[in-house]
């Protein structure tokens, strides 16, 4: 790729911008269920339609607002630039780092079940090989705790936020990455960023180790652990699963094409972001439903567990984002909100004062700094109800 520009966005990481995709006029589709007003559905759809241009192939949004009796899904644009197939509201996409919310919730479920302590060192759960790699890289795995990994305060370098990693992916997009390769990238491509607990530093590597911890304790794959611990089926999530070989029969049935700098990443091997830092496929509706259930105490057994997840962290060095555990805190239209975003263009936000969730996925990451632009606009529609 030529002349990359590095832009840091909250919770998203490194984006390389250099070229664009040319598109014809946008196409739209939407479903409205239990809407208190057809005008709100029309307003949401207008927001989506306006987001489509020659640099943005498509957008998917779901708005869940029980108080206002709104459960709305919409789409605009195309799912594939080459075929020009119309984007459908129920199509799946790679949610990337929003997977971290599911990982954090699963680890906290194990904690409330007494199967781990947040103060446990990660050396208790990761393999001897991975422990040795960390030591080789100058880390002290017996001093890095589960809590440090959950809050991105472990001091671990982020293998996924390097030019080297992106070049390797672009040069060989079909390469099957292993968790071990990514951990080696962590110690080879960078150095420790501080002592455990000293400061916030976002690290996919840390969440890949949480994924390993989850698999070690449960004796199951990460996807199966999600299903069991988070009760995904019981919550009504019908289109959320780990994108791996075991799910090949359903992975590509409705998956959209997602773009990076105009390049189609559809055939990039899922293993580049599979082990806890990312890995899930989902829909905008599923993501909104999950956040609604999480914040309405239907995921954890104990209400206090959610309090632990959302507890504010304080550091001597002010962090660039207010990250909790698998979730970060923002202001959206002057209202408190909890959110997570993902590299390919996903963001979900829950607004406590309205008990409402907005989940969005852009086919290509938005270029403006900060939150997905449609979130504030859709929230404005809700605020006017």
Which two three-digit tokens encode residue 335? 């209202």
Contact 166, 110 (CB under 8 A): no
- List CB contacts of 307: < 8 A, sequence separation 6 or more: none
Task: Name the nearest CA neighbour of 173 among 43, 260, 98.
Answer: 260
Its pTM stands at 0.91
| CB neighbour burial string for 24-40, b if at least 16 within 10 angstroms, e if fewer | eebbbbbbbeebeeeeb
Give CATH for domain 92-321: 3.40.710.10
pLDDT tens track of the chain, all 385 residues?
A: 333 323 333 333 433 323 333 233 333 333 444 444 578 999 999 999 999 999 999 999 999 999 999 999 999 999 999 999 999 999 999 999 999 999 999 999 999 999 999 999 999 999 999 999 999 999 999 999 999 999 999 999 999 999 999 999 999 999 999 999 999 999 999 999 999 999 999 999 999 999 999 999 999 999 999 999 999 999 999 999 999 756 655 656 799 999 998 999 999 999 999 999 999 999 999 999 999 999 999 999 999 999 999 999 999 989 999 999 999 999 999 999 999 999 999 999 999 999 999 999 999 999 888 999 999 999 999 999 8
* Phi, then psi, of 72 in degrees rounded to 5: -125, 130
Compute the distance between CA of residue 61 and CA of residue 72 in angstroms, rounded to an integer. 8
CA dihedral 16, 22, 23, 25 (to 10 degrees): 120
- Concatenating the DSSP letter of every residue in 275-323 gives SSSS-EEE-HHHHHHHHHHHHTTSSSSSHHHHHHHH-----SSPPSSEE
Amino acid 149: pLDDT: 98
Task: Name the nearest CA neighbour of 150 among 175, 182, 176, 116.
Answer: 116
Cα distances (angstroms) measured from residue 8 to each of 4, 205, 242, 260: 13, 17, 26, 15
DSSP code for 340: E
What kind and span of H or E run contains 375?
Answer: helix 373-383
Contact 272, 266 (CB under 8 A): no
DSSP code for 255: B
Q: Where are the domains of the chain?
A: 1-55+367-385, 92-321
Q: Is 313 exposed, middle or buried (0-12, 13-18, 19+ CB in 10 A)?
A: middle
- Concatenating the DSSP letter of every residue in 341-357 gives EETTTEEEEEEGGGTEE
């Amino acid at each position: 790729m030529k002349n990359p520009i590095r832009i840091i966005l909250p919770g998203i990481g490194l984006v390389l911008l250099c070229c664009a995709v040319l598109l014809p006029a946008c196409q739209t589709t939407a479903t409205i269920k239990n809407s208190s007003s057809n005008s709100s559905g029309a307003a949401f759809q207008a927001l989506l339609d306006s987001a489509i241009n020659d640099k943005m192939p498509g957008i998917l949004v779901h708005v869940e607002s029980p108080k206002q009796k709104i459960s709305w899904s919409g789409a605009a644009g195309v799912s594939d630039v080459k075929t020009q197939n119309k984007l459908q509201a129920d199509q799946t996409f790679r949610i990337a780092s929003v997977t971290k919310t599911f990982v954090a919730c699963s680890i906290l479920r194990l904690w409330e079940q007494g199967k781990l302590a947040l103060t446990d060192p990660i050396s208790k759960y990761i393999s001897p090989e991975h422990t040795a790699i960390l030591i080789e890289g100058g880390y002290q795995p017996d001093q890095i705790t589960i809590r440090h990994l959950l809050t991105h305060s472990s001091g671990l370098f982020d293998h996924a936020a390097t030019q080297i990693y992106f070049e390797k992916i672009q040069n060989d997009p079909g390469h099957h990455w292993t968790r071990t390769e990514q951990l080696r990238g962590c110690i080879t491509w960078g150095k420790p960023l501080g002592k455990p607990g000293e400061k916030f530093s976002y690290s996919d590597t840390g969440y890949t180790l949480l994924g390993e911890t989850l698999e070690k304790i449960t004796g199951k794959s990460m996807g199966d652990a999600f299903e069991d611990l988070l009760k995904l089926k019981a919550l009504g999530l019908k289109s959320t699963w780990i994108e791996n070989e075991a799910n090949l029969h359903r992975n590509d049935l409705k998956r959209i094409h997602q773009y990076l700098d105009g390049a189609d990443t559809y055939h990039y091997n899922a293993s580049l972001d599979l082990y806890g830092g990312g890995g899930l496929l989902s829909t905008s509706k599923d993501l909104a439903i999950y956040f609604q259930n999480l914040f309405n105490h239907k995921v954890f057994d104990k209400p206090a567990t959610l309090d632990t997840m959302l507890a504010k962290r304080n550091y001597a060095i002010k962090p660039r984002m207010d990250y909790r555990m698998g979730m970060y805190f923002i202001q959206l239209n002057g209202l408190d909100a909890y959110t997570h975003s993902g590299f390919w263009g996903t963001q979900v936000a829950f607004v406590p004062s309205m008990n409402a969730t907005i989940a969005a996925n852009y086919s290509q990451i938005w270029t403006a700094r900060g939150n997905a632009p449609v979130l504030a606009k859709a929230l404005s529609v809700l605020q006017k109800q």
